[in-house]
Chains A and B, each alone.
Chain A
Amino acid sequence: MPSEDLDLARRMSARDERAFAEFFDAYFAPTYRFALSRLGRDEDAAQEVAQAALVRAALKISSFRGEALLFTWLCTFCRHEVSAHLRRNKGLGRHVELREEAGEVRSALEALSSEPPAGTAAASRRDDVVRAVHHTLDALPRHYGDALEWKYVLGLTVREIADRLGLGPKAAESLLTRARQAFRDRFEAHGVEP
């Protein structure tokens, strides 16, 4: 939630060490994935870029106004670091240009319904959709993406999700409903890019 993001930003601005740890825990993996998909799956490069983006964002956290989600704001730093990395390494032909097509849930689902041979356009489209789904999960308000993944990929029960989030079962159910709607809205509006 934006208020959560603002609260975290305020605590970091006040140099609360626990807030910096929370920031890293919440955003390293999503930022790493964001970088990984733009650096030709180079894991070392993605780590360097993600950690640099987190540091730069953390040091400018006082300029975060909560007008967008914190992760969306963080992605602007990550894009800059990706560009800088590619400039330093002369591109190396590994940069992945992500298409900014809006995702239509039904057609995306169709793209995932088959296992096309590697190297085909259909396989590329499938990869794009998987990446877009993962990015959409990362770009949702905190806990929404995790709750959806816990429930529908890892198979946790509502009660287990509730326990993880410190909520009651009803509240967890409600959160899942909101998360599904938020996922649909975001996926259809933004597709790959935040």
Chain B
Amino acid sequence: MDDASRDDGDEDEVVSLVRTAGARPNPSAERTADARAFFDAAWRAELRQRRVRSVWLQAAAVLAGVAALAVAVRLGAPRPPAVARTPLDASVVVARLDAGLVECEGASGWRSLGAGEPLSAGGRVRTRASGAGFRVEDGRSVRLAARSGLVWDAPERLTLESGAVYVDSGRSEGAGSAFEVSTPWGAVRETGTQFEVRLEATGLRVRVREGRVSVVGQAPAIEVARGTELRTGAGGVTQRAIPVHGADWSWTLGLAPTFDLDGRPSHELLAWAAREAGWELRYADAESRRRAEAAELRGSIRGLRPDEALVAVLPSTGLPHRLQDGVLWIGPSEAGSR
């Protein structure tokens, strides 16, 4: 068939418009591959967990406590020799992938780490457009932001190579061993808290969400309270107050470990979600607290962010809630807050 001869009748305005506008922009092959991996992992995981999402009430009463936390941060000169390295033992499992997508470096290059797959000491991982959440053997949650990389030296120590990492130890000060994030700009050591460490072009940024921070380096030690951001690097050391909730922390929510609510009281869900989101949990009255402690939940919230889980679950409990200036109020609005 002579195709050219058939074009004569095609040359209308639509043809000219399509031709002049040119080809549609396509995402790069690498971007498409990343998205495909995310899509495949997400729909498979979701469909596996889907059977539940219904939540209902039963009587019970348990109370969960939220740990008091503290942080000790030590910042030194660039590339401090103080970040001691112990010999790596590749047989030691340091963490398992809990959420998101991540690649680990192997003998034949980078490969995707599967959900629940263990990461050995010395393992180097990186994220692309999505972050990743790890569950450490001792229960800590370590979340690597998108476009970040680290080497996990030992169960309690990692080296941040790029981007940002968030650590939630969820334990009281002094309990267990300290977790350490080392960077070219210093080491950040904690004894139980929620904090973020981010490498920037000319230094290090540390944001503490709970507990206290002690900065030790070339300058005199600085005690810094919760809700503070520290920057150190070429421009010296600065600090400023920051909110412990809101957009700056939202990337960590999607990587939070799943809360197993089956059989637990609403109060525990509220405490978990509030802590993950950086909100203060308050009850408007004693009756609301009693009801939250007595209401036992059934089902699963797998796949939901902590803030999404609240929206999904609370209506079934009959407990009204609202957010006001970083406070999660539970109970009727006329009963307590302002």
Chain B residues packing against A (C-beta within 8 Å)? 1, 3, 6, 10, 12-27, 31-32, 34-36, 38-40, 42-43, 46-47, 50, 129-130, 146-147, 247, 250
Contact = CB atoms under 8 A, between A and B. Distances in A.
Contact of A33 (B24, B34, B250): B24
Contacts of B147: 44
Interface residues of A, number: 51
Contact of A149 (B13, B18, B50): B18
A112 B20 CA distance: 7
Contacts of B32: 28-29
14 contacts: A20-B40, A24-B35, A28-B36, A47-B35, A47-B129, A48-B130, A48-B146, A51-B39, A55-B46, A109-B16, A134-B24, A153-B23, A154-B23, A158-B1
A184 B39 CA distance: 33
A193 interface: no
A152 B35 contact: no
Contacts of A137: 18, 24
A61 to B, nearest CB: 10
Contact of A158 (B3, B13, B38, B247): B3
Contact of A55 (B18, B39, B146): B39
A138 B43 CA distance: 24
Given A54-B39, A59-B47, A159-B3, A183 B18 contact: yes
A39 interface: no
B27 A152 contact: no
Contact of B18 (A47, A59, A148): A148
Nearest to B3: A157
B247 A112 contact: no
Contacts of A32: 26-27, 31, 35
B3 to A, nearest CB: 4
Contacts of B26: 29, 32
Given A28-B35, A47-B35, A138 B10 contact: no
A105 B247 contact: no
Contact of A152 (B18, B43, B50, B146): B18
Contacts of A88: 247, 250
A180 B200 CA distance: 51
Contacts of A152: 10, 15, 18-19
Would you call the interface of chain A mostly helix, strand, loop, or mixed? helix
A90 interface: yes
B21 A58 contact: no
A187 B50 CA distance: 39
Given A105-B14, A130-B22, A43 B247 contact: no
B304 to A, nearest CB: 12
A47 B27 CA distance: 8
Interface string A164-194: 0000010001001000100110010000000
A29 B21 contact: no
Contacts of B129: 44, 47-48, 51
A176 B10 contact: yes
B1 A33 contact: no
A143 B334 CA distance: 58
A149 B23 CA distance: 7
A180 B23 CA distance: 16
Contact of B39 (A24, A44, A113, A158): A24
A151 B16 CA distance: 12
Contacts of B40: 20, 24
Contacts of A109: 13, 16-17, 20
Smallest CB-CB A-B distances: 6 pairs: A133-B21, A157-B3, A51-B35, A112-B20, A55-B42, A134-B24
